[in-house]
Amino acid sequence: MTSNGLPETLADALQTRFAERFQTGMAICAQHGATTTWLENQPPDAVVFPQSTAEVAEIVALCSASQVPIIPFGAGSSLEGQLNAPYGGVSVDLTRMDSILAVHPEDMDCVVQPGVIRSRLNEHLRDTGLFFPLDPGADATLGGMAATRASGTMAVQYGTMKDVVMSVEAVMADGRVIRTGHRARKSAAGYDLTRLLVGSEGTLAIITELTLRLQGIPEGIAAARCSFQSIEAASKAVIAVLQTGSRVARIELLDALTVKAVNRYSKQSLPEMPLLLAEFHGSHASVKEQSQAFAEIASEFGAADLVWTANHEERARLWQARHDVFWAVLGLRPGAKGISTDVCVPISRLAECIVAATTHAETLGLIAPIAGHVGDGNFHNLILINPDSPEEVAAAKSYIGWLNQLALSMEGTCTGEHGVGQGKQAYLVAELGPALHDMLAIKRALDPKGIMNPGKMLYGEIGGH
């Protein structure tokens, strides 16, 4: 065994094969642990940077032979400890696999490697009249987005990663390379392995190529914002907008505290009240019609300071403020650690759930601003705590547990988009019950040695991990 915890034969083989692309330094290993989460950093023993599917397969085969854990790494933006290495092992950093392999404008799809960042894909697509619609806020890699079944602000109209990934190429736990489908728009051929791997968080395989469904850039795009006297009024307005069948592309909610943080961080002058941001895609006529309908419904719930714009720069400024929320909220308590958590409930329970969440945070004395993709019932809390205070840490953990149980009691889910990782394992047990045994059976069948991102998602893993 080497000083970094790897078997000598494996370390020598990886060093010989990958040279400077095999790293064991403490700093780079720590960077590949839990980089944006509140969970303890558990770094891998080594990091390797493959540049092709064949190289990933080689790495996996070597690790499998030594029964060493493998942890896939994308942009490092996951929030539930998916990148941690609780049993050590090798982090497989896919950021150098960042080629856009093909774009098929006539078929409205593309083929990319997993290290491609979504913003770069959209820059590449700009002249084709197409775009990739999912926007989780962070500039994540597409492989990471698929692995965590990401969604984001535009999920209301365009769905989540499970809806836009048509097929994947993946390296399985024994080093075999498989392809789960092709470019046909639909298929009834066999088990749906694509959707099995999308959302598996690296616990079943490493995704090395994705075929993605694209959308045409809308003729017209308009954004609107308005403020409300209460979170409840804003939430009820969202419910009403959706129930009328409005084709809203995205609709986001920020509570008053989040708006205050955004004003400071993004140099905006928004009313420091609960805020809705909405966007509409379609023809110029339909966008205007939908925007007017939104304004009328919002007014019924006391909306004020309604602003509507079709100007690209003004829309970009509005949505940049939304994307800056994480960093803006951290500024409310300099030096504090942010614990980000999310739940998702049926739309009809949204107002009730958000109001209860706000009230309970206040009862516990927590600063826990809310922002959410409320168009699909998903919202986030960023809880600000002093990590050196046992009382604050305990209060935050108590709140997260309470919030997850509340969402489940409303027939919701413990995570709308952050995934399970390490942080949500207990709640997954509560949510799925006996079905968890069937998930574990799949894990055992596809990863009998238990080397694929062990310690994540499932309890009762095998292979010594």
* Cβ count near 9 (within 10 Å): 12
Task: Say yes or no: 302 and 365 in one domain.
Answer: no
Average pLDDT over residues 215-224: 94
**Pairing of β 220-227 and β 275-282:** antiparallel
Residue 171 above 80 pLDDT? yes
Q: How far apart are CA 185 and CA 410, in angstroms?
A: 35
Judge whether 134 and 158 are in contact, CB under 8 Å. yes
Residue 15 above 80 pLDDT? yes
Task: Say yes or no: 298 and 401 in one domain.
Answer: no
**pLDDT tens column, 108-143:** 999 999 999 999 999 999 999 999 999 887 789 999
**pLDDT tens column, 422-453:** 999 989 989 999 999 999 999 999 999 999 99
Average pLDDT over residues 294-321: 90
**pLDDT tens column, 249-280:** 999 999 999 999 999 998 889 999 999 999 99
Name the residue range of residue 81's domain.
8-95
Confidence of residue 299 (pLDDT cuts 50, 70, 90): very high
Distance set, CA 86 to CA 81, 188, 400 (Å)? 10, 39, 22
Task: Say yes or no: 297 and 277 in one domain.
Answer: yes
Task: Say yes or no: 152 and 106 in one domain.
Answer: yes
pLDDT at 135: 87
Task: Say yes or no: 156 and 139 in one domain.
Answer: yes
Flag whether 452 is in a domain.
no
Task: Say yes or no: 160 and 203 in one domain.
Answer: yes
Last residue of a domain, one of 394, 409, 424: 409
Last residue of a domain, one of 95, 118, 148: 95
Residue that wins the pLDDT comparison between 324 and 142: 142
Task: Say yes or no: 88 and 134 in one domain.
Answer: no
What's the CATH code of the domain at 77? 3.30.43.10
Confidence of residue 464 (pLDDT cuts 50, 70, 90): very low
Judge whether 13 and 62 are in contact, CB under 8 Å. yes
Tokens of 396: 């935050």
Tokens of 245: 């069948």
**pLDDT tens column, 387-422:** 899 999 999 999 999 999 999 999 999 999 999 999
Flag whether 429 is in a domain.
no
Flag whether 263 is in a domain.
yes
Residue 465 above 60 pLDDT? no
In 3D space, the residue among 49, 89, 84, 48 whose CA is nearest the CA of residue 67 turns out to be 89
What's the CATH code of the domain at 164? 3.30.465.10
Task: Say yes or no: 232 and 295 in one domain.
Answer: yes
Flag whether 210 is in a domain.
yes
Tokens of 237: 């307005």
In sign, the C-alpha dihedral spanning 438, 443, 445, 449 is: negative
Residue 462 above 50 pLDDT? no
Flag whether 387 is in a domain.
yes
In 3D space, the residue among 425, 434, 404 whose CA is nearest the CA of residue 416 turns out to be 404
Judge whether 73 and 92 are in contact, CB under 8 Å. yes
Flag whether 49 is in a domain.
yes
Last residue of a domain, one of 59, 78, 95: 95
In 3D space, the residue among 160, 204, 207 whose CA is nearest the CA of residue 456 turns out to be 204
* H-helix segments, 301-424: 312-323, 325-330, 350-363, 390-409
**Lowest mean pLDDT: which of 222-236, 320-334, 378-392?**
320-334
Judge whether 207 and 168 are in contact, CB under 8 Å. yes
Task: Say yes or no: 356 and 302 in one domain.
Answer: no
Task: Say yes or no: 91 and 13 in one domain.
Answer: yes
Task: Say yes or no: 131 and 155 in one domain.
Answer: yes
> Buried b / exposed e across 317-351, counting CB within 10 Å, b at 16+?
ebbebbbbbbebbbebeeebbbbbbbbbbebebbb
Flag whether 457 is in a domain.
no
Residue 380 above 60 pLDDT? yes
Average pLDDT across the chain, whole number? 93
pLDDT at 277: 94
Average pLDDT over residues 327-339: 92
Task: Say yes or no: 176 and 195 in one domain.
Answer: yes
The domain tally of the chain equals 4
What's the CATH code of the domain at 243? 3.30.70.2190
As a whole number of angstroms, the longest Cα–Cα distance in the chain is: 69
Q: What is the DSSP string of 202-219?
A: TSSEEEEEEEEE-EEPPS
**pLDDT tens column, 66-106:** 999 999 999 998 889 999 999 999 999 999 999 999 999 99
Average pLDDT over residues 296-321: 89
pLDDT at 453: 97
Tokens of 9: 């034969």
Confidence of residue 316 (pLDDT cuts 50, 70, 90): confident
Flag whether 282 is in a domain.
yes
Residue 36's φ and ψ, nearest 5 degrees, are -120, 5
